[in-house]
């Protein structure tokens, strides 16, 4: 588990004034004494002190060489793909975040980058997919939304043996639970919109490079493409980070209770949560995120239809129906029609995203209230089914 002290120590006190919180440097440029003679900053796309403070904290949190803050998680992913050139190949996890899939397939494929997908929970499939064109292996662990856990250390070895880099989207675990660079990854990305910000009040992304070589290239791309995070949002992410370990601890303990409750319900066919012993990757999850299993749960209904899922996601009071995750307030969503609507149906189903799959982002409310909320939504699903059965029985009786 990440040390809360280490995190809080990494947030600097302002050298100029002693301000305990990082000041918001809302400026576009910095006055120079003579051309090229400045105080370390010249233009705010290239560098801004508030953003720099966040970037240094991110590098500390992820045990990397340097960090870079972007305007969104997708801008962060975009910057990483720009490390590649036409003719290069990416080997990616098959249930990739829908937005990353859209970027890979509909933008970068046009630019001559090839992407192949495989089930990365089996390292042998990654080894089989690698070619001499592979420059990047792309993992999400746990993945969105089926909570697949891939063995980062094993896959790092495979990627490195082929001269490829390993990038891990660490959004779901957060650096509190998992530090991919310590396990051998070369690059870590985050949608800081989620747990890092933690309050559902901003869009932001982060990249952390393990080495100076990769760091310098990312710094160049960040400045050249310009998808930077603004100073106010940088400040908000820093403020969110102050409570990250505390929040993650609570998300984990409540999510485990909710997952165990869902397992007892007849309306639920499957519960995906890496903390459950029944989860196919539970052993790997325990090894690489020993501090906990996160706050995201997915479930598939016994009645595996979009209609049943719609009824549940519109029938809760504390779980709000919305995309996104990782905030204080609990959210739920229906990936087939929301986050994964850009993934082709056959590919979505093949990757385990069933028609009735519902993703829960377990927030900071009391566990018993969240459980009661889900219980009443599932009760109503059973009641509706009973009413339907009765109507069919009556109609049949009348016809007979």
Ligand X SMILES: *Cc1c(COP(=O)(O)O)cnc(C)c1O
97, 117, 195, 273: which one is catalytic?
97
Q: What are phi and psi of 351, to 5 degrees?
A: -85, 10
Between CA 65 and CA 259, with CA 151 as vertex, the angle to 5 degrees is: 110
Tokens (6 digits) for 17: 């004034």
Q: Least separation, in Å, of the C-beta of 215 and ligand X? A: 21
97 is an interface residue for ligand X by CB under 6 A: yes
CA angle 142, 127, 217 (to 5 degrees): 70
Give me the sign of the Cα torsion angle 153, 173, 144, 261. Answer: positive
Q: Does 95 interact with ligand X (rule: CB under 6 A)?
A: no
Q: Are 235 and 22 in contact (CB under 8 A)?
A: yes
Total interface residues for ligand X by CB under 6 A = 15
94 or 267: CB nearest ligand X = 94
* Minimum gap (Å) between residue 76 Cβ and ligand X: 8
Site string for ligand X, 273-292 (x = CB under 6 A): --------------------
Residue 2 as a binder of ligand X (CB under 6 A): the answer is: no
Q: Does residue 43 carry a catalytic annotation?
A: no
At 298, give phi and psi (nearest 5°).
-120, 150
Say if CB 346 and CB 277 are below 8 A apart: no
Contact by Cβ (8 Å): 315, 373:
no
Phi first, then psi, for residue 206 (nearest 5°) are -145, 145
Question: Which residue has the CB atom at the shortest distance from ligand X?
Answer: 73
Query: In this chain, which stretch among 7-15, 97-105, 208-216, 348-356 interacts with ligand X, using CB under 6 A?
Result: 97-105
Q: Out of 74, 241, 270, 312, which residue is the one contacting ligand X (CB under 6 A)?
A: 74
229 CB-contact burial (10 Å; exposed 0-12 / middle 13-18 / buried 19+): buried
193 belongs to the binding site for ligand X (CB under 6 A)? yes
CA of 146: how far to CAs of 48, 184, 364, 368, in Å?
37, 24, 22, 24
Q: Smallest distance from the beta carbon of 238 to ligand X, in angstroms?
A: 17
- Active-site residue flag, 45: yes
Of residues 158-187, those binding ligand X (CB under 6 A): 169, 171
CB closer to ligand X, 140 vs 373: 140
Interaction between residue 48 and ligand X (CB under 6 A): no
Which parts of 203-222 interact with ligand X (CB under 6 A)?
A: 203, 205
Structure tokens at 110: 């046009």
Q: Does 73 bind ligand X (CB under 6 A)?
A: yes
What is the Cα–Cα distance from 287 to 279, expressed in whole angstroms?
14
What torsion do the CA atoms of 241, 233, 138, 147 make, to the nearest 10 degrees?
50
Q: Which of residues 134-163 bind ligand X (CB under 6 A)?
A: 140, 144
Q: Applying CB under 6 A, does 72 fall inside the site for ligand X?
A: yes
The least distance separating ligand X from the CB of residue 170, rounded to whole angstroms, comes to 9
108 binds ligand X (CB under 6 A): no
Active site annotation includes 94: no
Q: Per this entry, what is the length of the chain?
A: 400
Return the number of the residue (281 or 311) whose C-beta is nearest ligand X: 281
* Helix, strand, coil shares, percent, the chain, to 5: 40, 15, 45
The residue ranges that bind ligand X (CB under 6 A) are: 72-74, 97, 99-100, 140, 144, 169, 171, 191, 193-194, 203, 205
Catalytic residues: 45, 97, 169, 194
């Amino acid at each position: 588990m990440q040390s809360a002290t280490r995190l809080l120590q990494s947030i600097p006190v302002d050298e100029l004034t002693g301000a305990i919180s990082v000041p918001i440097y809302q400026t576009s440029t910095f006055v120079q004494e003579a051309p090229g003679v400045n105080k370390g900053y010249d233009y705010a796309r290239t560098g801004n002190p508030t953003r720099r403070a966040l970037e240094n904290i991110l590098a500390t949190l992820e045990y990397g060489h340097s960090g870079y803050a972007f305007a969104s998680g997708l801008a962060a992913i975009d910057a990483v793909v720009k490390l590649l050139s036409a003719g290069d190949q990416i080997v990616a996890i098959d249930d990739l975040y829908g937005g990353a899939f859209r970027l890979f397939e509909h933008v970068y494929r046009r630019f001559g980058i090839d992407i192949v997908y495989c089930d990365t929970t089996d390292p042998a499939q990654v080894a089989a997919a690698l070619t001499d064109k592979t420059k990047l292996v792309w993992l999400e662990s746990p993945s969105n939304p089926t909570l697949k856990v891939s063995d980062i250390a094993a896959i790092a070895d495979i990627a490195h043996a082929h001269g490829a880099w390993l990038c891990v989207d660490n959004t779901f675990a957060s650096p509190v639970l998992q530090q991919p660079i310590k396990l051998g990854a070369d690059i870590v990305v985050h949608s800081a919109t989620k747990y890092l910000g933690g309050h559902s009040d901003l869009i932001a992304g982060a990249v952390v490079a393990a080495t100076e070589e990769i760091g310098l290239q990312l710094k160049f791309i960040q400045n050249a493409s310009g998808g930077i995070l603004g100073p106010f949002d940088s400040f908000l992410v820093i403020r969110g980070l102050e409570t990250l370990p505390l929040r993650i601890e609570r998300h984990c303990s409540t999510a485990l209770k909710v997952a165990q409750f869902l397992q007892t319900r007849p309306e639920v066919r499957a519960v995906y949560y890496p903390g459950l012993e029944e989860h196919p990757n539970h052993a790997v999850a325990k090894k690489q995120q020993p501090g906990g299993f996160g706050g995201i749960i997915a479930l598939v209904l016994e009645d595996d239809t979009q209609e049943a899922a719609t009824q549940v996601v519109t029938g809760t009071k504390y779980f709000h129906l919305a995309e996104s995750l990782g905030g204080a307030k609990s959210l739920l969503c229906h990936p087939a029609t929301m986050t994964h609507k850009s993934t082709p149906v056959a590919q979505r189903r093949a990757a385990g995203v069933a028609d009735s799959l519902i993703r829960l982002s377990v927030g900071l409310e009391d566990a018993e209230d969240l459980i009661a909320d889900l219980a009443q939504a599932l009760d109503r699903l059973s009641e509706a089914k009973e009413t339907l059965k009765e109507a069919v029985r009556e109609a049949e009786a009348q016809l007979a």
